[in-house]
Amino acid sequence: MSIDDPILIDLFRSAARVVVFTGAGVSAESGVPTFRNALTGHWAKFDPAELATTEAYERNPEMVSRWYDGRRCEIGECRPNAGHLALAEFERRVVGRGGRFMIATQNIDRLHQAGGSKSVIELHGTLWVWRCMDCGEEGEERGPAFVEYPPRCACGGMRRPGVVWFGEALPEGAIELAEELVGACDLLLSLGTSSVVYPAAGLIDAALQGGAQVLEVNPEATAYSGRVHWSIRGKSGEVLPELMGAAFG
Ligand code: BJW
Ligand code: ZN
């Protein structure tokens, strides 16, 4: 699929309502491991059921909190890549011409915001906020590694990462807002996601049903590759700057 398809480039220049749906692949070039890569992904080394559920945390809070704290420290060193920066520039262009732009991300790293994106829905929460499982108090947790595992709240309760585990509801209103925007958008970009986790992946179905043009960027094929309007096999940190260059010079 050609990056310089004039219809696609024209959409970049003219679409009034744009939604961008992102997954771990968008942060891969920043050094954040994806989940499902057979060699380097998290799930190549760990069983999701042992880490990414409330039951796993209750069963083994020390191991699970150490794993999340390790990722917190690792991701704290990562910086936005050229793909994140291209999306922030795209937002400025769309908003500047009076349009509406939203990123609905499954990523918990906040690299979109660090790259300058303003409108971001965090479908799977964030690793930077930890919440008490007893009293519900939340705190921003940047900085050095924790001193105790699991970390504890002043009330004595265990703190947990503010991410969404399997079987848990997404943050209140997040998927509803994303579905509403996707259903009314002209252009959906689906970037760096294996598109297997729901309800998030259902956003691509909603866009297709709503009549949006859909572009997927991924080095690998996904279950949606044959259904979208453009499926570009490549890295988001390379393809997005190229598309932006073709559209805006
Ligand atoms: C590049 C690249 C480069 C590489 N450039 N690309 C059967 C059917 C439907 C649903 C279910 C079902 N059975 C169970 C469910 C529900 C379940 C689910 O979807 N399971 C499926 C796996 C089957 N969903 C849930 O449980 C959700 N909640 C829910 O349904 O609640 C119901 C409810 C309602 C009301 C009350 C109570 C409950 C919650 C899902 C939470 C997902 N959480 C995780 C972990 C977060 C915490 C953590 O970080 O540890 O979120 S799982 C993990 O997967 C993470 C991700 O956000 C998510 C998506 O993964 P993503 O981003 O797509 O990454 P990868 O690794 O899969 O793909 C990376 C892609 O990038 C690849 O394609 C590469 O090729 C590509 N790539 N380099 C561009 N440079
Ligand atoms: Zn507490």
Biggest alpha carbon distance in the chain?
Answer: 60
Phi-psi region of 7 (alpha: psi -120 to 50; beta: other; left: phi over 0): alpha
Is 33 in a helix, a strand, or coil? coil
Tell me, what's the pLDDT at 195? 98
198 lines ligand 1 (CB under 6 A): yes
Instruction: Verify whether ligand 1 is closer than 6 Å to residue 234 (CB atom).
Output: no
Determine whether 112 is an active site residue.
Answer: no
Contact 219 CB / ligand 1 (< 6 Å): yes
Ligand 1 centroid, distance to 154 Cα (angstroms): 32
Could you tell me if the CB of 24 is within 6 A of ligand 1? yes
Atom 15, ligand 1: which residue's CA is nearest?
A: 198
And the tokens for 226? Answer: 């044959």
pTM of the model: 0.97
Separation between Cα atoms, residue 40 and residue 34, nearest integer Å: 7
Q: What is the pLDDT of residues 177-209, one digit of tens each?
A: 999 999 999 999 999 999 999 999 999 999 999
Count of residues making up the chain: 249
Proximal ligand: closest to the CA of 132: 2
Question: Cα(167) to centroid of ligand 1, in Å?
Answer: 11
Of the residues 42, 84, 112, 124, which is catalytic?
124
Average pLDDT over residues 134-145: 96
**Pure H helices in the chain:** 6-14, 25-28, 42-45, 48-51, 54-59, 61-76, 82-96, 111-114, 174-183, 202-210, 236-248
Phi-psi region of 211 (alpha: psi -120 to 50; beta: other; left: phi over 0): left
Mean pLDDT of 8-35: 97
Q: With contact defined as beta carbons under 8 Å apart, do 194 and 36 qualify?
A: yes
* Cβ–Cβ < 8 Å for 177, 204: no
Q: What is residue 109's predicted lDDT score, i.e. its pLDDT?
A: 98
pLDDT of 1 reads 58
**25-77: per-residue pLDDT in tens?**
999 999 999 998 877 887 788 887 778 999 999 999 999 999 999 999 999 99
